[in-house]
Structure 1
């Protein structure tokens, strides 16, 4: 059997097994092993490739960035930083149309700067923001949808776990991806705030008969700065250290995790019980990511051996299929896949397949930083899957945290305007690539 035929069959069987509900890392590894076996007609080569993929991929100092940033994010959750951010944001936005909704977005953006996990944001603000909004006349659909929508900022605003995964899959620089994501992340937060204000102005029935919150604890400039000081310290230590070249991303993760630990101890919010839970959850998330990266490495090596990616590049060139057509097709496929698969799985499955196309066709359009730009675009498209049925993990987390006060369908419906805002951001990044590349 020819290499191209094996490559096509590998992709077909990959999606078939995934739709059957098999675990993603196992499917990637097994299909990759079988493909290498068929291409080389030697099982020993296939299993040797598995060994090389495992040791060559994760047996690196750089991989330590994953558990360290996960640990930092979970410790900041324990320290109550999310609640403080919402408290300050709610007071200063109380006079705006949809003020508490805007406060939720602002607080999520602040919290995202010290944690790279959207699920933590969704869980925290479901308990903090939704009761406040519904108590002041906002509809439960709008409140839940706003929390679900704004929680995905944690996967774009650095430090982000998905950006780290993309860096490992494409062998890109984690630090450069963090730098490139700053402007798009803030722009998405601004688009969310504008969406809320427009909804409150032109669709008040969707938002609800919101009243001015007069029961909020009064904040002054000094009290707000005091509450936000721990967040500012963490951001300065982690992102400032990376941007200024003081730390590598892995070293910054270690310093940030230690700073978050000290902060949790100072606030007396860390106990032996929840500390053990944090360590256990950190291990579970890190190991899950590890297996996905190993499986993706095996599968991508198998595709290279089949010569399918290179032949796709040649075919696209011969067909005169433009760079932008390929990007639009990729974004559409990723959004559809987001309805059925988690974000990490989508990245490790799709990105290795299109990377050669993007590099060969995009270098002349975007420039040498095309993979960094493509990484930011990919993360935004992948994030949309967190809000789309039937998988939409962010919607599930919000529903689980709120309980019977809102239906899962209403959470999805409430998040719909934010999907349009994310689609608008994708179009903006495609129209103005320097928004990503100019800072590099």
Structure 2
């Protein structure tokens, strides 16, 4: 079978090669077993008596869902059993040389989080809508950054500069929106700032063949230094005129916004969140269903073959990395046009690196990277919710929770992952 790109016809083989042995990783069963034992130890060593209440609605919902109250100890022990069974089944599958299915990991993850929450919030009430909507808000910049990372690396350019693109986008959005008194102008400026950072990355990495990881790290440090200097010398002394951007307000979608539980989380959001939904769908469709996406994947996997059939490798990489920068810049705008009322130094807080981890966790796929970013956003918001309800879990542990989840996710749950074959390798024609 062959797929026509408009410039060339690239053969795609659908028949698996004979004699190829599939290697089954043991990371997943080991990690699931370890986490099950950890939950068992928590419940057994620190038993709690009482109930945990889950509030499933907010007062503005059209239909009010009842609150759900569960006995903490009994529920936690049931979850321990469920997680133990899932981990045991994963081990059995591994011994049979079969991979652990994704649905089993999802069931395990939901059960484990539910059991831990029930134990940690004993005697308290968990606002489920607030927990999930807050998780989405924290994940928005991560998702935009992850999409930018997927686009760049699919074309063969390692986009370590996601952090710089987010920070530059946040700075440009705050300043331009303040000067022009327009959140939309700030959004456009944020996208342009991301493109500028991506252009510098492309200039050194694609044109001059400089190591892409080094260029990305240097760009992150450069943007951090420039924005900190501009904040101290320009924005702080003129905060009223240069650092007081108007904000996007939440726009409920009729009917969808009234759906209990789901509506307040997904359909009572700002324009940037709705743009996120469109961006995820558009990037996914473009990569896998369009001629442009086929060219991008071709230059990321085998640039010499792509060049042989007429695809301009470096031109394609330039275009893709600029689009990636524009997408990441929009994620930076979320900080200053939605989350906080002004720009602050280092306000991204390493989100670009978490987004890069989401790219790896998601195996360079837009949908999986989005789900990974949502997981990291949930972990970040969970520590805040548990602190508010007075959970006995130490605050230091909760603060490091998002990064622990990142390490576990990348090191364990992702299993064996293979980046695009030409990722990070400059292409020299001829």
Task: Indicate the structure with greater strand content.
Answer: 2
Q: TM-score, normalised by structure 2?
A: 0.27
Task: Indicate the structure with greater helix content.
Answer: 1
